Amino acid sequence: MNISIFLIGFVFFLGGVSVWLLPAFKLGIYLLEWDFLSLKFNFYFNSVLFSFILFLVTFSVLIFSTYYLNSELNFNYYYFVLLIFVGSMFSLNFSNSIFTMLLSWDLLGISSFFLVLFYNNWDSCSGAMNTALTNRLGDYFMFVFFGLSVFSGYYFLSFSMFSSYMSLLLLLTAFTKSAQFPFSSWLPKAMSAPTPVSSLVHSSTLVTAGLILLMNFNNLVLQKSFISFVLIIGLFTMFFSSLASLVEEDLKKVVALSTLSQMGFSMVTLGLGLSFISFIHLVSHALFKSCLFMQVGYIIHCSFGQQDGRNYSNNGNLPNFIQLQMLVTLFCLCGLIFSSGAVSKDFILELFFSNNYMLFFSLMFFVSVFLTFGYSFRLWKSFFLSFNKVMNHYSSTVFMNFLSLALVIFSIGFLWWLNFNLLNVPSLFLYVDFFGPLVFLFMMIFLSFMVLKMLFKELTYKFLVDYLAKNSIYKMKNLKFMDLFLNNINSKGYTLFLSAGIFKNYYMKSLNFNSVVILIFIFFMIC
């Protein structure tokens, strides 16, 4: 079994390298053409680039699955269904005919149903049925769309009416598969699948299929009324998923809702008419989100399958490399400087707010982008900033430290490749564009810190000189209060040595995680 896993991984690795080495070209392969039944595949830049990212993510997820599902009885079945899913995604990515597109679309929905159903408990059954029925609705829309496209050739009704109805059906198809606003419920429910499935299916493949479909038919969809509809639906998806991720306690569902928010972000970009920028954001998101799912899955696996954010404790003792990779992926999610999310987000924000007079939607968009930082910090806080429980369980494997390293490197290095080769952005402009606001930000932080420091000094002086001295004299005069106070201290057993011991204990415990923060804090207090 291990040899077969190695061979499958090796084939995916070779495929990824070969795709990477192929130059920019457009190639059509027609294997069969017989009326409706035709096998046509198109190889062009967008599909080749996406397939390379898919190769990379699948290769990492296949290896991660051997670690995460090590003792599962149905592991061969899981691997078989996962490979069917990946193959159907590649087929959808390259397909250029109705038959291959419908076949790939159906296989995606069926294989995702079986993958979500893997654990076969009540939660996974509910999530699988929700996923399958919503995707089946999308399959119906797609079938009617292709049926109308065939009937439009008979000319007994106006072509404009057919094209408008067809565009609407195409949008509904994409909304169901990409979990946009009316059909968003299936994506958080599908988190009952194993975490490697979530890492592959719900970050870079299934949810992106609808957007890829819209990009393939962008000449049909990119009309003013339709892209306005796409823009508004994407905005609502962003806003509501960002709000929901702030109150959700299941951390896998928080990551799923962040995926939903980023899909809405790509849909907004498509609504602005920026098809290629939306595709770039989609590809960069697939890299860092699959890496984030792997890190979250590793922490869940190390905590006996615990997913509730309120029950984690002392995860700061995990290997530092895991924490660093998760921090980098969260930086990419927020679109911070020198990350792959920065370039596409910077472009999209700039092009959205230029010549824009929609005050309500602009405010909603701004709040949704800002909430990305909110749920990213909440995810980090739930994992690494809680010390209230005593149950710990850590895996001893070293390999997991380096599994998603390739994804992390691409998430950072992908930025410069995009700049120089795709978007033609000079590096000087990029530096000025990024560092200008950054200088102002640091200046604001420095000034606010100095103001707060002066205020605290003044408040400390007022407290020590005016309030504490006067109040202590009043309390000392009241002997009854003093007697009760001393009795209370004595009954609780807070002696001087015990309190000093508790302080030392907490201080030494905190050294495991954030000693640098404590040193910086002490340094600022001394200064």
Interior angle at CA 379, CA 261 and CA 376, nearest 5 = 50
pLDDT tens for each residue of 80-99: 898 899 989 888 888 888 88
pTM attached to this predicted model: 0.75
Q: Mean of the pLDDT values across residues 173-195? A: 86
CA dist list (Å): 164 to 167, 168, 227, 230, 425: 5, 6, 12, 14, 37
What residue type is 297 in one-letter code?
Answer: G
pLDDT of residue 513: 47
Query: Does the pLDDT value for residue 202 go beyond 60?
Result: yes
Determine whether 490 is exposed, middle or buried from the number of CB atoms within 10 Å of its CB (0-12, 13-18, 19+): exposed
Q: What is the pLDDT of residues 310-352, one digit of tens each?
A: 777 777 667 777 888 888 888 888 887 667 777 778 778 878 8
Please, how many CA atoms are within 13 Å of residue 256, restricted to the half-sphere of its CB?
27
Contacts for 412 with CB less than 8 Å, ≥ 6 apart? 328, 332, 338, 339, 340
Tokens of 291: 């890496």
396-406, pLDDT tens digit by residue?
566 777 777 77
| Distance separating alpha carbons of residues 51 and 335, to the nearest angstrom | 23
